[in-house]
Amino acid sequence: MVWIKNGGGLTASDVTPEAVYRQRRRFMQAGAAMLGSALATSWLPAEARVSLGEPKPGPFSTDEDKTPFDDVTGYNNFYEFGTGKRDPARYADRLRTDPWSVAIEGECEKPSTLALEDLLKPHAFEERIYRLRCVEGWSMVIPWIGFPLGDLLKRFQPTSKAKYVEFQTLYDPKQMPGQRRAVLDWPYVEGLRMDEALHPLTILAVGLYGQVLPNQNGAPLRLVVPWKYGFKSIKSIVRIRFRETQPTSSWMKAAPREYGFYSNVNPDVPHPRWSQKRERRIGEFRKRRTLMFNGYGEQVASLYAGMDLRKYF
């Protein structure tokens, strides 16, 4: 059962995008109407609903103050809906997540194409409060709802040739107006090394703040890799491919001098056009020091032992 959680004193942003307001209003109305019964994202078509159940607290969560809901859902990078930070909340209501399927392909014993509900059915959801650090210098703390990516990948039995995992976002310019512009070579593609994909910090998210993902945050299924810059956490996933060779991600292809495959949060490796040493937490005035691996070094630094992180950035 999904309950509307206490907002913890959250206040709306000074200007709330219309799409976010309408979405939140629908959610609140549905909650009032269905209190005491199973509530499963009633503002979505019935066939696309994902019942989050009662997610258990997951490991690795930070105890930092969470970023307000309206900022998490109203200030995003999702170029498929436009390059402005407010564009996804304005235009993402065009996206239809019913029906939705995900193809699992490549170097595995059990390739499949599954409807979203069948993909998610065996997995128990957790709430994980993770930091998100974007390459432009802003950051958030978000209570994600999801499950370890590795749990899903193992179901399809990757072979010994599977050294990497590639992900692809939906390509549909009719629903995603940003794809009508050649900002990137669509569809959006990202990738992880296999040990990164199997690491227990890496999750597939289906919700945040106790409800299913809003469209602008990557509905119905997105990756969250908290020690990497935000653009690695690909949204609205439709394809997962096991690969023997390293995939070329969209930002690597667009600007290889600026965006490497690993994209680990590293304050000692500046972006060619700005420093990464400090960040601005959304809702705060003063900037704070950027933490190596976004503060998750204790968990993930061993993945990169012996690597030159200036070369493999």
- All structural domains of the chain, each given as residue ranges with its CATH number in brackets, are 18-301 (3.90.420.10)
Quote the tokens at residue 116: 């979203």
Say what the pLDDT of residue 34 is.
Answer: 32
Quote the tokens at residue 117: 């509900």
pLDDT tens digits for range 260-294: 999 999 999 999 999 999 999 999 999 999 999 99
Instruction: Name which of 4-18, 126-140, 247-261, 281-295 the model is least confident about.
Output: 4-18
Whole-number Cα distances in Å, 286 to 12, 278, 279, 281, 307: 20, 10, 9, 8, 33
Instruction: Pick the closest to residue 82 from 94, 66, 70, 100 (CA basis).
Output: 94
C-alpha triplet 70, 71, 74: angle, nearest 5°? 75
Say what the pLDDT of residue 188 is.
Answer: 98
Instruction: Pick the closest to residue 209 from 148, 99, 130, 283 (CA basis).
Output: 130
Quote the tokens at residue 279: 């960040």
Say what the pLDDT of residue 23 is.
Answer: 47
Contact 108, 156 (CB under 8 A): yes
Looking at the DSSP bridge assignments, the partners of residue 180 are none
Quick one: pLDDT band at residue 90, thresholds 50, 70, 90?
A: very high
N residues, the chain: 313
Task: Tell me the whole-structure pTM to 2 decimals.
Answer: 0.85
Say what the pLDDT of residue 53 is.
Answer: 85
CA distance 52 to 210: 8
Instruction: Name which of 20-29, 40-49, 223-232 the model is least confident about.
Output: 40-49
